[in-house]
Amino acid sequence: MKALRLMSWKSEPELVEVAKPTPGPGQVVVKIGGSGACHSDLHLMHDFDAGAVPWNPPFTLGHENAGWVDSIGVGVTAVKEGDAVAVYGSWGCGKCSRCQLGIETLCERPMEQPIPGGGGGLGLDGGMAEYMLVPFERLLVKLPGKMTPADAAPLTDAGLTPYHAVRRSWAKMQPESFVVCIGVGGLGHMGVQFVKATTGARVIAVDSKPEALELAKRVGADFTVVSDESAVAKIREITGGIGADVVIDFVGAESTMKMAMGSARSLGDVTIVGIAGGTIPFNFFSQAYEVSLQTIYWGSRPELVEIFNLADRGLIQVEHTKYSLDNAAQAYKDLQAGKIKGRAVIVP
Ligand code: NAD
Ligand code: ZN
Ligand code: ZN
C-alpha cells in the first residue's frame, strides 16, 4: 500500500510503498477514510531535530484519522469489520490514573506507552496511508449517525484540541464575557464554534489573513480583528476598555503571545495552543492582575465523544478541502503557504 512518510528530520515527506499492516491480539486495522493535515506536521518536517521529542523518523504521517474497521485481532470485541470509527490519537499506557480517566495525552507511564509521548503519525505509523494499525480497541470511537470519516478525522485534533482549551475555561465564558481566538486556521475556526455552541460568550477572532477572518465570521465570530500592532487596542475597544475574559492563542508566536497577554482582563485566562516557539516575559506586572497563563495539549477520549455529539447535532462542523493520497504532499505545501481554509483532509 502507499503511505506518506517522514523519512528523517528536516525533510519533506515521501510517498512510498509499504506493507499493509495485520492486527495482532487486541489490535485493529482501520481502512483510512480521512486523515487531516495538521500544522504540527509542518513543525515536525521543518523545526524539529533529533532529541526534541522521544522518537524519531521514519514513520507514516497523519495523527487525525478515521475510517472503517478492516480487520480485528484476537480478543477484540468493541468493534467489528465495517464499523465507521475515529482513532483517538494520543496513545497512553491505558493503566495509569490519567489513562483510566481517558486523558491519555497526560499518561504518567511513558515507558509503558506504545511509544513514549507519541502515537500514530507521531513516531509510529499514522493514517496518511491506505490502512493504519491501531494497537488497542479502546482508542477507537464509533462515528455517530451520518458522519463520514472525512468529516470525523479532523475532529480528533483540529476539533479535540480547541474543545479541550474552551472547556477548560468554561467558567470564564459567561454571557457577558468576551473570548479572543488568535489564528483562525484548522484549530482556530473550531475554537470559535465551540465557544458559540457551548457558552453564551461573544467571540473576537484575530488573524492576519482576510480569508481566515471571513471564515471566522461565517462560523459564528461576533467580531474580527486584523492581526497587527493595533489589535490589542481594537480588542480593548470592542470590550468597552476592559479586555477579554479568555484569550486562546492558536499560533504561539512571540507577537501573538504578547497580543494575548495584552488583551486579557484581570482574572482572565490566557491559553497557548500554537507551538510556533514564541516566548514572553511573565512576572507580577507583565499582565493584568490575576491572569492565568496556561498551555494545553490535545484532549481526552471522553471529550472526543462529546464533540461527536455536538457535530452529530449540527452544532459544529469542520470546513475542509479533500486531497487524494497521491496529492498529500501538496496539501502540506498549501498549508505552509497559508492557502488552506479550515483543514486539508487526505482521502486515500
Ligand atoms: P493552521 O495553519 O491551519 O492555522 C494557523 C492560522 O493562524 C492561520 O489562519 C494563519 O493565518 C494564522 N496566523 C499565523 N500567524 C498569525 C499571526 N501572527 N497573527 C494572527 N494569525 C496568524 O494551523 P493549525 O493546524 O490550526 O495549528 C495551529 C497551531 O497549533 C500550530 O502551531 C500547531 O502545531 C498547534 N497545535 C497544537 C496542539 C496542542 O495540543 N497544543 C494540537 C494541534 C496543533
Ligand atoms: Zn495536530
Ligand atoms: Zn497512562
Same domain membership, residue 237 and residue 314 = no
Centroid of ligand 1 to alpha carbon of 158 (angstroms): 10
Same domain membership, residue 108 and residue 59 = yes
Same domain membership, residue 69 and residue 39 = yes
pLDDT band at 154 (very low <50, low <70, confident <90, very high): very high
Same domain membership, residue 149 and residue 165 = no
Q: How do residues 46-86 score in pLDDT, each as one tens digit?
A: 999 899 899 999 999 999 999 999 999 999 999 999 999 99
Q: How far is CA 224 from CA 49, 207, 232, 301, 325, in A?
A: 36, 8, 12, 32, 35
Centroid of ligand 3 to alpha carbon of 97 (angstroms): 7
Q: The domain containing residue 207 runs over which residues?
A: 160-295
Closest residue by Cα to atom 34, ligand 1, is 40
Centroid of ligand 1 to alpha carbon of 250 (angstroms): 5
The number of the ligand 1 atom at minimal distance from the alpha carbon of 164 is 40
Same domain membership, residue 237 and residue 148 = no
Contact 262/232 with Cβ under 8 angstroms? yes
Same domain membership, residue 287 and residue 311 = no
Centroid of ligand 2 to alpha carbon of 122 (angstroms): 9
The number of the ligand 1 atom at minimal distance from the alpha carbon of 335 is 2
Centroid of ligand 1 to alpha carbon of 273 (angstroms): 8
In DSSP notation, 165-198 reads HHHHTGGG--TT-EEEEE--STTHHHHHHHHHHH
* Count of domains observed in the chain: 2
Q: Pocket of ligand 1, candidates 40, 160, 230: which has the most ligand atoms within 8 Å of its Cβ, to mutate?
A: 40
Closest residue by Cα to atom 13, ligand 1, is 183
The number of the ligand 1 atom at minimal distance from the alpha carbon of 272 is 41
Q: How do residues 281-323 score in pLDDT, each as one tens digit?
A: 999 999 999 999 999 999 999 999 999 999 999 999 999 999 9
Average pLDDT over residues 28-51: 96
Q: How do residues 218-269 score in pLDDT, each as one tens digit?
A: 999 999 999 999 999 999 999 999 999 999 999 999 999 999 999 999 999 9
Centroid of ligand 3 to alpha carbon of 93 (angstroms): 4
CATH number at residue 272: 3.40.50.720
Same domain membership, residue 166 and residue 290 = yes
Region for residue 51 given its phi and psi (left: phi exceeds 0; alpha: psi -120 to 50; beta: otherwise): left
Same domain membership, residue 247 and residue 326 = no
Q: What is the pLDDT of residue 216?
A: 98
200 contact partners, CB below 8 Å, separation of at least 6: 173, 174, 175, 177
CATH number at residue 109: 3.90.180.10
Contact 312/144 with Cβ under 8 angstroms? yes
C-alpha cell at 56: 524519531
Mean pLDDT of the chain: 98
Q: What is the pLDDT of residue 243?
A: 98
pLDDT band at 3 (very low <50, low <70, confident <90, very high): very high
Same domain membership, residue 310 and residue 252 = no
Residues with CB under 6 A from ligand 1: 38-40, 43, 157, 161, 182-188, 206-209, 212, 227, 250-253, 255-256, 273-276, 296-298, 335, 338
Half-sphere exposure for 224 (CA within 13 Å, toward CB): 20
Q: Pocket of ligand 1, candidates 105, 163, 193, 208: which has the most ligand atoms within 8 Å of its Cβ, to mutate?
A: 208
Q: How do residues 88-139 score in pLDDT, each as one tens digit?
A: 999 999 999 999 999 999 999 999 999 999 999 999 999 999 999 999 999 9
pLDDT band at 217 (very low <50, low <70, confident <90, very high): very high
Q: How far is CA 76 from CA 73, 113, 316, 323, in A?
A: 6, 19, 32, 32
* Angle (nearest 5°) at CA 101 between 97 and 104: 80
Centroid of ligand 2 to alpha carbon of 39 (angstroms): 6
Same domain membership, residue 115 and residue 29 = yes
Which residues surround the ion ligand 2 when the cut-off is CB under 5 Å? 38, 40, 157
Helix residue ranges, H only, 77-123: 97-100
Same domain membership, residue 273 and residue 197 = yes
The number of the ligand 1 atom at minimal distance from the alpha carbon of 209 is 11
pLDDT band at 162 (very low <50, low <70, confident <90, very high): very high
Nearest to 249, CA basis, from 236, 240, 258: 258
Q: What is the pLDDT of residue 168?
A: 98
Cβ-based neighbour number of residue 303 at 10 Å:
19
Closest residue by Cα to atom 4, ligand 1, is 185
